[in-house]
Amino acid sequence: MDWTHPFDTYYRRNPDFDNADSAREVINLIQRQDAIADSLVGETSAEYVLDVLESQGIDPRAYVDCVEANVNHVITQRIQIAGLPLESFF
C-alpha cells in the first residue's frame, strides 16, 4: 500500500454526467489529490484541503471520519505501507 492511500479520494461517478461533467470531475480529483499530497508533506495546511473538498461538494467531516477509519484499519490490520516503517504508526 502506498503511504497516501488512507487519505485518497476517488473519481465520483454519476450516471447523469455528460462529457463536460466527467472532465470537470477529473480536474477536481487531480486538484483534491494534489492538495492532499501537499498537505501530507507540510506544503499546505489541512484547512486548505478541507476547503478544497467542501468547494467540490465533499463533506469535510465525512472525509476526516473516512481517513480516521482508514488509518485505524491500517494500524489494526498491521498493513505495511511502502516508504513508512510500521512503527511510525505507534
Q: How far apart are CA 21 and CA 2, in angstroms?
A: 29
Q: How far is CA 4 from the centre of its chain?
A: 8
Q: Please tell me the distance from the alpha carbon of residue 71 to that of residue 8, in angstroms, as a whole number.
A: 11
Domain count, the chain: 1
Question: In DSSP terms, which residues pair with 81 in a beta bridge?
Answer: 84
- Percentage of residues in the chain with pLDDT exceeding 90? 72
pTM (2 decimals)? 0.80
Return mean pLDDT, the chain.
89
Q: Which structural domain, as residue segments, surrounds residue 72?
A: 5-89
Amino acid 34: pLDDT: 96
How many whole angstroms from its chain centre is CA 70? 10
pLDDT at 29 over 80: yes
